[in-house]
Amino acid sequence: MPLNLSLIPSGSKLESNGDGQSFDISTSETRTFLCELSVTDQLEQESLEVSLWGSADGQDFGKRPYLKILQQFYRGTTKMVLDLSLRPKVRFLRAHWELNRWGRVAPTPMFVVGLTLTEIPPMSQNTPTKRGVVAVS
């Protein structure tokens, strides 16, 4: 059964930089995920940067993310693919977000967001699947 993860629960109000809960992905068959970031509310003159970090032990998430989602300024949905098929040591994932605000209005940035990851078939044409090897056309 494909994994469906909510790294940032839908409707979460973010007002400062932070990290989400870590999720165990060791049961993933494909280790490939469609990441969908939805921004449903925001203020003017601010930005949101979300990145995905991996760890072998759930404690040390390293110094570099595995995926940076495009910087957000407005409401909308952004989709990107995270392929960890060549990184078998990664067992845990978590989201990290950074907010930036400029201008003279309220000093606190605010975004209402949700980030889901849905396991999808492997991206590589030569990646083995449960049924064998993906055919090359």
Domains annotated for the chain, with CATH where assigned, are 4-123 (2.60.120.1110)
Give the pLDDT score at 107: 77
DSSP the chain: ---EEEEEEEEEEE-S-EE---EE-TT-SS-EEEEEEEEEEE-SSEEEEEEEEEESSSS---SS-SEEPPPB-SSEEEEEEEE-TT-TT--EEEEEEEEEE-SSS-SS--EEEEEEEEE---SSTT-EETTEEPPP-
Check whether 136 has a pLDDT greater than 60: no
Q: What is the mean pLDDT of residues 100-113?
A: 84
For the whole model, what pTM was predicted?
0.85
